[in-house]
Structure 1
Amino acid sequence: MGMNRTGIQMSPIDSKAMQELEPSVTSDDGVGDMALAELRSDYIANADALGSVPLPATLGGAVNVGMAMLKGDSPQILLDKLGERLAFERTGTRLYDALITKCEVMLAGDISMTIDDLEQIRADEARHFLMVADAIESLGGDPTSQTPSAALVGVESMGLLQVLNDPRTSIAQSLHAIVTAELSDKAGWETLVALADEHGLADMVDSFTEALNEEREHLALTQTWYEEAIRLTYGDVEIDDIASLSQQQPPE
């Protein structure tokens, strides 16, 4: 608790005066909103795509992609999602680098997480990055190219990096960002396993499934550490019970 002056209740006189303004001062009958929507619509209609999936850099890769497309497959989607995973795993290593640095200064004995635990997960993320890079090269792609989905997750993860690198954020707040990243990572690997299976790439399915299982372990661990950090206990109530209670209709 502290001297937080952001709430409107901190200045009741001024807040009341603000809410009693004449309607003509606070409303333009939607004209401003309509103008803004029209401006955005014009930008959307005339904008270029976020990017493109690059053509394979090798002759063998081009032949493989061409044959796959002739068979009705969509290798460009697989390459795009491989680029996405590559970008996110690179970000994952940076997130854990930042968390390790913070924990070396701030970590106390009130949660079960250790520096060794974090270094192991960080090593997993780096290994996943190399695995995806090898997969891209095996398909004739260039792992240094930025695909549209790679650009997308780069923007999405900027906020997570800002949280971890902010010296003011606590261990609990940093773990909240890590859990968010691990949830996204798990979903991304599930998509990649399904895509590899659709293309009949059995070796990739096996290696990606192994990575997915490791990410599930990361998620379970980081969720536990986060709950410990915010001193959350569920008592005698199971999570499944909480979910079922929320779905019940209120009595008439």
Structure 2
Amino acid sequence: MTRHSEHVGMNRTGIQMSPVDSKAMQEMDPSMAGIDDGDESALAEMRNDYIANADSLGSIPLPGTLKGAVSMTVQALKGDSPQILLDKLGERLAFERTGTRLYDALITKCEVMLDGDISMTIDDLEHIRADEARHFMLISDAIESLGGDPTSQTPSADLAGVESMGLVQVLNDPRTSIAQSLHAIMTAELSDKAGWETLVALADEHDLTDMVDEFTNALNQEREHLALVQTWYEEAIGLTYGDVELDGGDIDSQQESISAE
């Protein structure tokens, strides 16, 4: 059942399905000759005008507490850029929230469709889902420790929300197979891994030792998630098992081995 939608059928989306109509579509009206020659300068000029006059995507919220204002001022005087760190923390917070929902959707789909063709189990997914939820709380606490408000939406958080809309749609679409859903999850995990790498670097730049350690642990867990999801995806599309294999469904043992490297 995991590959129920990967079949050959009457797909009418290609131009080859109607040679006569496709030829007519490609014929140019003689009265249009010389007008539509691929020159998109007018369209580009209009876009340039919109870009030049557009507002920014958002702004970094001012600290809502005296502690936060003092902390931001001190870091700014040191030459740091606390607003960038807060923006990226907001981005990760938004993405971890989405990641939790993605796994919720995948678990729901697998409860109906998973039939043992791949090594992934519901318990595996629930474990990763719990990791994503913990990462959300970790970031929320980090924002609060800097005097920020985790309920505020930063520009990068807004961006992450828009970027992930397609992934949410894929997972919530009842027509998508487990393989297709895992492809979307793999895209999310690739982005998640890169995001945590950025946070570790920013925390280190601001001499936030505790955050560096906590974020590094989260990064190692995300690396594990990515390796597992990639293996499950390869299995789902019929490839041989990848390098990562579950030892009796125990993800914890693999996470410990990765953390020790």
Aligned pairs (5 A) from 1:59-74: 59-74=66-81
Structure 1 residue 86 corresponds to structure 2 residue 105: no
Aligned pairs (5 A) from 1:162-173: 162-173=169-180
Give 1:102's aligned residue: 109
Quick check: 2:234–2:241 contact (8 Å CA) kept in 1? no
Give 1:226's aligned residue: 233
Give 1:8's aligned residue: 15
Cα distance in 2 for residues equivalent to 1:26 and 1:125: 57
Cα distance in 2 for residues equivalent to 1:207 and 1:225: 27
Q: Deviations for 1:41-94, whole angstroms, at most 9, x for unmatched residues?
A: 111111111000111111011011101101110000000000000000000000
What RMSD, in angstroms, separates the aligned Cα atoms of the two structures? 1.7
Which runs of 5 or more structure 2 residues have no equivalent in the other structure?
1-7, 243-261
Query: In percent, how many aligned pairs have the same letter?
Result: 82
Correspondence for 2:122 among 115, 118, 139: 115
Quick check: 2:94–2:157 contact (8 Å CA) kept in 1? yes
Give 2:65's aligned residue: 58
Cα distance in 1 for residues equivalent to 2:33 and 2:184: 37
- Give the letter for the 1:186 counterpart: K
Cα distance in 1 for residues equivalent to 2:170 and 2:36: 39
- Offset of residue 175 of structure 1: 0.3
Deviates more, 1:23-32 or 1:67-76: 23-32
- Give the letter for the 1:207 counterpart: E
Correspondence for 1:209 among 188, 209, 216: 216
Quick check: 2:203–2:211 contact (8 Å CA) kept in 1? yes
Cα distance in 1 for residues equivalent to 2:37 and 2:70: 55
Give 2:53's aligned residue: 46
Give 1:244's aligned residue: none
Cα distance in 2 for residues equivalent to 1:197 and 1:73: 11
Cα distance in 2 for residues equivalent to 1:179 and 1:131: 22
Structure 2 vs 1, CA of residues 6 and 29 (structure 1 numbering), >3 Å: closer, same or farther?
closer
Cα distance in 2 for residues equivalent to 1:143 and 1:45: 31
Give 2:83's aligned residue: 76
- Offset of residue 210 of structure 1: 0.2
- Give the letter for the 2:60 counterpart: V
Structure 1 residue 157 corresponds to structure 2 residue 164: yes
Structure 2 vs 1, CA of residues 31 and 213 (structure 1 numbering), >3 Å: closer, same or farther?
closer
Cα distance in 2 for residues equivalent to 1:82 and 1:228: 34
- Offset of residue 39 of structure 1: 1.5
Aligned length: 235
The ranges of structure 1 where at least 4 consecutive aligned residues each deviate by more than 6 angstroms after the TM superposition are: none
Structure 1 residue 19 corresponds to structure 2 residue 26: yes
Q: Deviations for 1:220-242, whole angstroms, at most 9, x for unmatched residues?
A: 0000000000002399xxxxxxx
- Give the letter for the 1:229 counterpart: A
Q: TM-score, normalised by structure 2?
A: 0.86
Give 1:239's aligned residue: none
- Offset of residue 12 of structure 1: 1.3
